[in-house]
């Protein structure tokens, strides 16, 4: 993961991306026990999102450093990395509000637990609900913190349905 952090920071330094934050299962592992995942998902903001192939500069940058495409991802060391442009107000805010952690002395931006939970809530798959429960069980956040953010971002019906189904209130 250190190679991923270095690559992302280099992309910012060279203007390939404007901002980034690790999210999904890899970000969850900052707060919970290790979970199984196939790749590292990275929210990104690009300097320009014009054209049909907005990720081309990322793939070219990676290839010039010896990191090659592998399916929908780029293999960076041991990790397939998926670059996902922040696509709605929730993911854009999650990326902006990300915390900076360190991996072997290299800074890396990671989506906060409350945003991970609300992103998972918005997607609504079984594994996303499991992510929310794992974050709650390890005390990474409280139901009230999720509720506050979910309501502010227009996800009150989803939060109500989740909490009625899964939480002992």
3-class secondary structure, 5: helix
Any idea what the Cα angle at residue 116 is, between residues 50 and 168, rounded to 5°? 145
Give 52's strand partners.
Answer: none
CATH topology of domain 2-111: Beta Polymerase; domain 2 (3.30.460)
Domain ranges of the chain: 2-111, 115-166
Tokens encoding 69? 């495409």
| pLDDT single digits (tens) 4-42 | 999 999 999 999 999 999 999 999 999 998 898 889 999
| pLDDT single digits (tens) 82-99 | 999 999 999 999 999 999
């Amino acid at each position: 993961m250190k190679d991923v952090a270095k690559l992302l920071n280099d992309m910012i330094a060279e203007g390939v991306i404007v901002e980034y934050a690790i999210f999904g299962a890899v970000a969850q592992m900052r707060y919970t026990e290790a979970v199984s995942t196939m790749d590292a998902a990275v929210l990104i903001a690009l300097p320009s999102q014009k054209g049909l192939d907005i990720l081309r500069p990322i793939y070219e940058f990676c290839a010039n450093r010896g990191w090659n495409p592998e399916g929908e991802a780029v293999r960076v060391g041991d990790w397939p990395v998926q670059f996902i442009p922040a696509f709605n107000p929730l993911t854009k805010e999650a990326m902006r509000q990300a915390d900076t952690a360190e991996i072997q002395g290299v800074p890396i931006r990671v989506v906060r637990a409350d945003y991970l939970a609300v992103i998972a809530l918005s997607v609504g798959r079984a594994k996303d609900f499991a992510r929310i429960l794992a974050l709650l069980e390890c005390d990474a956040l409280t139901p009230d913190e999720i509720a506050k953010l979910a309501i502010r971002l227009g996800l009150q019906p989803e939060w109500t349905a989740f909490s009625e189904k899964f939480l002992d209130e």
